[in-house]
Amino acid sequence: MDGLPEIERSTDVDASPEEVWERIVDGALAEEWLGVEIDPRPGGPVSVPDEDVIGTVEEVEPGRSITWSWRHRDGDPSQVTITVEPNGDGSRVTVIERLLEYRITGSPPVFLDLAA
């Protein structure tokens, strides 16, 4: 993935890491706060209401981080990692989104010569 674009942003939140984590992974709270619906388990779906998005949770470290890959059906895939860390009386939330190389896997296409 070297050379592919990556965006990283951090923000301090006046809430405990547990409260922040709940907002990230708890159904309606994630949709309210992040605009996404997440099933916070490896293999769980990630979706954006009213958008044609394909996404899958890859890794979860409960209370600390979640990583998923997603893309619009006609867009480039990316991977998002959200990390929550204690920071004084609150939390620091870091979001990293990386563009992923788009690959099609499987057998090469087969062409039939129907004129023969």
Query: How many domains does the chain divide into?
Result: 1
SS (H, E, C) the chain: CCCCCEEEEEEEECCCHHHHHHHHHCHHHHHHHHCCEECCCCCCEEECCCCCEEEEEEEEECCCEEEEEEEECCCCCEEEEEEEEEECCEEEEEEEEEECCCCCCCCCCCCCCCCC
Range of the domain at 90: 6-99
At 1, the pLDDT band (50, 70, 90 cuts) reads very low
pLDDT in tens, 43-78: 999 998 888 888 999 999 999 999 999 998 888 899
Q: Which CATH number fits the domain that encloses residue 43?
A: 3.30.530.20
**Is residue 62 assigned to a domain?**
yes
Express each pLDDT in 93-109 by its tens digit: 999 999 988 666 666 66
Q: Is residue 112 part of a domain?
A: no
Note whether residue 113 is domain-resident.
no
Q: Is residue 35 part of a domain?
A: yes
